[in-house]
Structures are given as C-alpha cells and as structure tokens.
C-alpha cells in the first residue's frame, strides 16, 4: 500500500463568478503555485534544481544542482527530486452556479504528503496574488480532506494555522479482482484526459479503449511509486492484464474534446491543453479492473496532472 493525501480547498473569488471563472484553471494555478513556492522557499530567487534540457546528455539530478532540492518543497513537488514524476496533482472545479463555491483539489503522493502545510500556505498566497491578466483573487474559506470512500472531513476554516501539525496519509493499492461479478463500469473524465497511444495523443473523436486507460494508470502508478511497487507492473503480468482489458467493449461514449488555455514560459506563447471530458461506460467484463480504475481516480491519468488534467471518477453500475 502506498501513501497519498487529497485535500479540497473551498474558495470564494473577489469578483463576479462569471468574470473570474475563465481564469480559474489548473494550468494557471500550477504556474502561480510554483512562483509562490520559489518566492517562499528559494534563497536564490530562482529555480536552480531544474536544469535546462541539453541535447545529447542526460540532465543532472536536482540534488546535484541545489543542495536543498531534497528538502525544499519546490524541489520535491516541482522538480521531482525524490522520483521520476512530480508527486502532486491539481484539479480546479469552477462553480456551476453563482451560489456555489469554487473548489481546488490538491493530491500529494508518497512522502510528499508531509508537505501539506507548506503546499496549502503557498496555494493561499498564490490565489491571493491573483489569476489571469485581470489578477482575479480568491480566498480560502475552508480546507477539507477527501478519504478513499469519497467522504470529506473538515480540517480548518480560513485560518490555516488551525491545521493539525501532522496528518496520517491514506493508502493506495493496485490490484485486480477477477472474481467480481460482471458489472458495467462508468468512467467520468472530470478534467481533460490527455492519453497517449503509441506515443501520440488520442484524437478527440476516438473512444477510449479500456486497455489504454488501464495502461496509463499503471504508467502513472509506476512513475510515482517505482517499478517494484506492485506485481502487476511486472511485464509478464502486466501484458496479461492489458490483453484481458482489450476484450472489454465500450457500451456508451458521451465524451468529447475539451481544451484549457495554458501559457508556455519557455516559448512565451499561449497554448491549449486538450483532452477527453465526459462519460464512458464499459461492459460487465470491466468489473475485475475496478480496483485499478479506482486507483486512477486518485492518481489522475495521462499527461499534465500537475496542471489539472486527467481527474476521473469511477463507479460500478447495476448489472444489466
């Protein structure tokens, strides 16, 4: 079992919901969070722990560039100094109605869960600094913890000093349950899922095969927790799991392509992060893969999870 901590921030904007909603996106929040962490924790005023790509040579480890990388919240979360992937994910849930709050979800993986006080304080600072060109500001009204059964526990209100100094993490496993009775499985893509197939982004008009979804969840689990984290990651076992998933049919596809604006600091240009959103239902043979799919609910799937992409919800439906 592997540790993680999922937190939800209930927010209120400083301006009308209609004007602020366009700025409330995962990519923007990621960018201002990184900036707030650099300002808070980096004594050099810039990120020494993230090398620029060099053609023909492997990049040095973050700890080789900065002696603080293994302890600094920015080095751990953004430079991924403890592993091959940054150990966090974001997801922004803009309000559906004017009388509802905006919600920001932060998930910390592995030992990075211990950084939750610093991550929350940095998020509070980043949101107060504002998002978008108009610098719309948000205030944290409440912080909640989301448990594996989706229940929520209030941790504190607007005053983050009320937070408990230590929280125990929740645990995540990766299994297959071959004896589950046949039941359809519903997948809802809550934020754009950017899924690679044969090295290319899955086109918007194509359905998402269960094999592809399972493969990307296993990739994400391995990237965060290591090659030895589960026996399912063994190539021999994984090939069997994926071949069985390939036989599962799609019963319903109500997904569509959705794009979220982003900005490339390196290229100094606007770009779009596109992916699948909406609902898919897989046939009853998908039930044995339910534990893997529920792990994907925690992990996010596909590319750009730190920019809010790949958040899914997974449910078993009544057998037909």
- For residues 131 and 112, which has the higher predicted lDDT (pLDDT)? 112
Distance CA 121, CA 101 (A): 19
- For residues 269 and 128, which has the higher predicted lDDT (pLDDT)? 128
- Beta-strand ranges (E) seen in 29-159 are 88-93, 102-109, 138-146, 152-156
Each as own residue / partner, the long-range contacts of residues 18-21 (CB below 8 Å, 24 or more positions apart, any chain) are 19/134, 19/136, 20/102, 20/131, 20/136, 20/138, 21/94, 21/95, 21/102
State the CB neighbour count (10 A cutoff) for residue 231: 11
Q: How far is CA 88 from CA 77, 164, 310, in A?
A: 6, 20, 12
Per-residue pLDDT at 269: 62
Per-residue pLDDT at 264: 61
pLDDT band at 233 (very low <50, low <70, confident <90, very high): very high
Per-residue pLDDT at 44: 82
pTM comes to: 0.93
Nearest to 183 by CA among 246, 238, 277, 248: 248
Mean pLDDT across 256-280: 80
The answer, yes or no, to whether residue 96 has pLDDT greater than 80, is no
Per-residue pLDDT at 45: 81
pLDDT band at 148 (very low <50, low <70, confident <90, very high): very high
Q: Among residues of the chain, what percentage have pLDDT more than 90?
A: 63
Per-residue pLDDT at 303: 94
pLDDT in tens, 160-175: 999 988 899 999 988 8
The answer, yes or no, to whether residue 267 has pLDDT greater than 70, is no
Per-residue pLDDT at 16: 56
Q: How far is CA 119 from CA 37, 42, 125, 127, 135, in A?
A: 8, 14, 10, 12, 21
What are the boundaries of each domain within the chain?
A: 2-171, 174-316
The answer, yes or no, to whether residue 266 has pLDDT greater than 70, is no
Residues 6+ apart with CB under 8 A from 126: 29, 32, 33, 35, 36
Per-residue pLDDT at 209: 96
Judged by average pLDDT, the poorest of 181-190, 200-209, 230-239, 286-295 is 200-209
* Mean pLDDT score of the chain: 90
pLDDT band at 113 (very low <50, low <70, confident <90, very high): very high
Residues 6+ apart with CB under 8 A from 91: 26, 104, 105, 190, 191, 300, 308, 311
pLDDT band at 300 (very low <50, low <70, confident <90, very high): very high
Beta bridge partners of 5: 108
Mean pLDDT across 19-33: 84
Q: Is 8 exposed, middle or buried (0-12, 13-18, 19+ CB in 10 A)?
A: buried
pLDDT band at 141 (very low <50, low <70, confident <90, very high): very high
Domain 174-316 fold = Alpha-Beta Plaits (3.30.70)
pLDDT band at 262 (very low <50, low <70, confident <90, very high): confident
3-state secondary structure of 317: coil
Mean pLDDT across 62-72: 90
Tokens in use for 197? 């197939």
């Amino acid at each position: 079992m592997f540790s993680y901590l999922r937190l939800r921030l209930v927010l209120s904007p400083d301006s009308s919901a209609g004007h602020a909603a366009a700025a409330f996106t995962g990519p923007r929040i990621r960018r201002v969070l990184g900036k707030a962490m650099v300002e808070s924790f980096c004594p050099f005023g810039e990120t020494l722990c993230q090398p620029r790509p060099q053609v023909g040579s492997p990049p040095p480890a973050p700890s080789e560039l900065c002696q603080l990388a293994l302890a600094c919240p920015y080095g751990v979360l953004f430079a991924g100094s403890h592993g091959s992937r940054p150990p966090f994910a974001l997801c922004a849930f803009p309000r559906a109605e004017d009388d509802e709050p905006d919600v920001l979800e932060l998930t910390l993986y592995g030992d990075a869960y211990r950084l939750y006080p610093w991550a929350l304080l940095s998020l509070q600072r980043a949101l107060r600094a504002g998002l978008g060109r108009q610098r719309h500001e948000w205030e944290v009204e409440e912080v909640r913890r989301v448990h594996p059964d989706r229940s929520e526990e209030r941790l504190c209100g607007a005053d983050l000093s009320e937070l408990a100094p230590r929280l125990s993490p929740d645990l995540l496993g990766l299994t297959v349950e071959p004896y589950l009775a046949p039941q359809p499985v519903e997948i809802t893509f809550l934020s754009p899922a950017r899924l690679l197939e044969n090295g290319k982004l899955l086109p918007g008009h194509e359905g998402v095969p269960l094999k592809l979804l399972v493969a990307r969840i296993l990739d994400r689990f391995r990237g965060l927790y290591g090659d030895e984290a589960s026996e399912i990651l063994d190539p021999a076992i994984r090939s069997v799991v994926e071949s069985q998933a390939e036989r599962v049919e799609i019963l319903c596809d109500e997904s569509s392509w959705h794009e979220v604006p982003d900005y490339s600091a390196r290229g100094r240009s606007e770009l779009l992060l596109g992916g699948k959103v909406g609902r898919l239902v897989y046939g009853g043979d998908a039930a044995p893969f339910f534990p893997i799919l529920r792990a994907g609910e925690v992990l996010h799937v596909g590319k750009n999870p730190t920019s809010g992409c790949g958040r899914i919800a997974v449910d078993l439906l009544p057998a037909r």
